[in-house]
Amino acid sequence: MSLSGTDRRRAAVGAVLRGRAARPGSPATATAPANVALVKYWGKRDADLNLPVTDSLSVSLGDAGTRTTVAAAERDGFRLNGGAVDPAAPEAARLARFLDLFRSPACPGFAVDSVNTVPTAAGVASSASGFAALVRALDGLLGWGLDAASLSVLARLGSGSACRSLWDGFVRWRAGVAADGSDSRGEPLGVEWPDLRVGLWVVSDRPKATGSREGMLRTVGTSPLYAGWPSVVAGDLAAVEPAIAARDLAALGAAAEGNAMAMHATAAAARPAVLYWLPESLHAMARIARLRDDGIPVWFTMDAGPNLKLLFEAASGPALCAAVPGLRELRPFGPRV
């Protein structure tokens, strides 16, 4: 008899923890950066375990992300950005399902208090930093003593892109081939690019109408363009990694921008269409093209949401901040502010 999705997830957790005791200690606090995918994760080969169809590659967003404190409790209690989360809310149910994988008689519930420094559920990877910070905090609370690669596997079970938020800088998510997901985890590239900047251009901080999971499922299941997506990713990965190694912004920016547009095209071709752009998003994209024509080397990428992330180097920061009021300039590398 085949295992249920929950049983498969529990088995995946058991393979990582390998019998480690789950006796809670003092409350633990951890942080994790959000990340922006330069080559996107879009589509799952296994929805239960969040296993992707292709590899993906991201860069962290420095100080932008999540800080989470977790404590043992008799029953669950969730707080976000200083306010209690309604237990009936979808995000509370998703978090509770994830925590079900780690409960024990010694720790039947969890008190989780998180603060996001990026908009929540608006396509700025708050779930990635949220689940990455949570597994780091659980590691401290429950005393697992796991390395980042193992924590990456656990974070992936909460949110696929969370497996890339266990590190700063550039991270490639290896899709893996194992049915149990044991080889599907983040892998840091180990390349520093101190002058690289990511600009967060928030055109809307409202939650998006279609979640990433729903959007992926609909795209994979109904978009006639999705069959070509794996080959697009393979080509873009082949362009992006050498561009990073050479610190070639033009090559990196062109590949990342093209990959984002291809992802959104596959989603828009789904039936019914999955549309994350707002009119303001289109105006912002056109504005970036004009700035580039005017001699400012800047490119954009977009995840499953309406907001843009700009790729540029430090020297272009003043001009871009003047051209885009409210632009948040982030440093993937270097000391945290």
User: pLDDT, tens digit, for every residue of 153-163?
Assistant: 999 999 999 99
Residues 30, 112, single domain; the answer is yes
Q: pLDDT by residue (tens digit) across 66-105?
A: 999 999 999 999 999 999 999 999 989 999 999 999 999 9
pLDDT value for 205: 84
In a domain, 337, yes or no: no
Q: Which of 163, 188, 213 is the last residue of a domain?
A: 188
**Residue 164, token pair as written in the block:** 């890339």
Q: How far apart are CA 52 and CA 45, in angstroms?
A: 5
For residue 19 the two structure tokens come to 């019998």
How far, in Å, are 213, 227, 233 from residue 272 at the CA level?
Answer: 15, 17, 24
Peptide bond into 87 cis (omega under 30): no
Residues 266, 163 share a domain: no
**Do 12 and 141 belong together in one domain?**
yes
The answer to whether position 76 is within a domain reads yes
Provide the residue type at 211 as one letter: G
Same-domain status, 11 and 152 = yes
Does one domain contain both 102 and 182? yes
> What CATH number should be reported for the domain holding residue 297?
3.30.70.890
Do 101 and 54 lie in one domain? The reply is yes
Task: Flag whether 317 is in a domain.
Answer: yes
Q: Which two tokens stand for residue 246?
A: 């050479």
Query: How many structural domains is the chain composed of?
Result: 2
Q: Do 174 and 63 fall within a single domain?
A: yes
What distance in Å separates the CA atoms of residue 195 and residue 329, rounded to the nearest whole number?
12
Range of the domain at 200: 196-330
Task: Assess whether 143 and 30 both reside in one domain.
Answer: yes
Final residue of a structural domain among 124, 157, 188 = 188
pLDDT higher than threshold 70 for residue 122: no
Let me know whether 156 and 242 are in one domain: no
Among 19-23, 170-174, 239-243, the range scoring the smallest mean pLDDT is 19-23
Per-residue pLDDT, 120: 54
50 domain residue, yes or no: yes
If we measure between CA atoms, which residue out of 88, 104, 107, 116 comes closest to residue 27? Answer: 107
33 and 164, same structural domain?
yes
In a shared domain, residues 302 and 228: yes
Residues 32 and 155 in one domain: yes
**What is the rounded CA–CA span in Å between residue 247 and residue 100?**
43
Of 188, 204, 227, the last residue of a domain is: 188
